[in-house]
Amino acid sequence: MKSAKSQVALLALCQATAMTTNTILVTVAALIGYALATDKALATVPLAMRQVATMVATIPASLLMERIGRRGGFLIGTIIGFIGAGIGIYSLTIAHFWLFTLSTTLLGASNGFVGYYRFAAADVADEAFRPQAISWVLAGGIIAAVLGPWAATGSKGWFNSELYIGSLVAILGLQVLTSLLLFGLHMPALVKEQGTGNTRSLTKIMRQPKFLVAALGSTISYSVMVFIMTATPLAMAVESHSFDQTASVIQWHVIGMFAPSLITGWLIKRLGVLQIIVTGTVLTLSCVGLNLAGTTFWHFAIALLLLGLGWNFMYVGSTTLLTETYRPAEKGKVQAIHDFIVFSVVALATFLAGRVFYRFDWAILNQLSWPLVLFTLLAVLWLQQKRLRSQRLV
């Protein structure tokens, strides 16, 4: 267990650097897009393309790691991120919107590898430690909550105050740091020891009620979170809130996303995975209600904090539920299809965020969110009742 914990700790640090990159991008990318795009409705396209690239990369990343191992795959991901950050720096020096979009696309492809840190933690943990291992890795985002907004605001004035070039320089440095950390990662090969045995078809696995609810919980939690979060800097700018205030709101949001991970695994063991997902849906619905109630700084700050908390409970819970749906020999393909589904919808949500915000308004954007969360809540309650009926029959 000591060895497993040391590997989980290293994965948590890698998660921290990766999420710091994501936090910086979320803070500045829509604002950069707004400044560079001729059509302001395209402001969130760079972020949307990042999500598309993440979605496209998920399956190749998983299959590649089955062939060369987790560490090799993660290192390739950081190389792609390094190239993306370099292109981003150049795109801002010449103020080129589509070249910046290429940069975020490559950073998104890099992010497709990052999603497997939590599964790598599950690989090294036994069944009892697995929920905590997953949540501890995601807890690495607490560091990102501090470093991300600080790096975004602190680097804004670098290089003669050119448009957020310093933010991209910080991202490039984070890719180098992640690569150095990964050289300390030592994990058993995935395929040779786990890729044998009888396997079921993906169709059969995906028909399981547990898989359906796990995929729904992950997808809705992530897509609604991104849908609201992506538009928040734009909504705050319209309401004349400062960039520092926007960075602060994003910081509280990221704290909400990852701080609970210190105890989410313990809560899952104590209360049950489905109850944690239910709690996450209630928190997310509370965020939407607060966003509809007003647009002061504190409305944005508390709502985004609740959004982060809701995402954590729903996403960690759904990921844990997913690990109950496959055998060891099936994990590669199941994890790949799960993340492909999640990031396909997340990419669509990111693209629509800017379009909905500018074609309609902040209120409509939030009103479109709550039915999806409510549907997820009903699905989880259905599975909960199904489990209770099965237990009574035993």
- Domain positions in the chain are 2-191+199-393
Place 197 in a pLDDT band, splitting at 50, 70 and 90.
low
**How many angstroms separate the most distant Cα atoms in the chain?**
71
CATH fit for domain 2-191+199-393, picks 1.10.3720.10, 1.20.1250.20, 1.10.390.10, 1.10.10.10: 1.20.1250.20
pLDDT at 155: 62
What is the end-to-end Cα distance of the chain in Å, rounded?
33
Residue range 126-159, pLDDT digits in tens:
667 777 777 777 777 777 777 776 776 666 666 6
What are the structure tokens assigned to 62, written together? 């998983």
Residue range 333-381, pLDDT digits in tens:
888 889 889 888 988 888 888 888 888 889 999 999 999 999 999 999 9
pLDDT at 80: 96
CA 255, 261, 263, 268 dihedral sign is positive
CA atoms within 13 A on the CB side of 30: 32
What are the structure tokens assigned to 10, written together? 């290293």
What is the residue-wise DSSP string for 266-278? HHHHHH-HHHHHH
CA 357, 362, 365, 368 dihedral sign is negative
Backbone angles phi, psi at 44, to 5 degrees: -95, 5
Break the chain down into helix, strand, coil percent, rounded to 5: 85, 0, 15
| Separation CA 282–CA 264 (nearest Å) | 16
Given a cut of 60, is residue 187 above it in pLDDT? yes
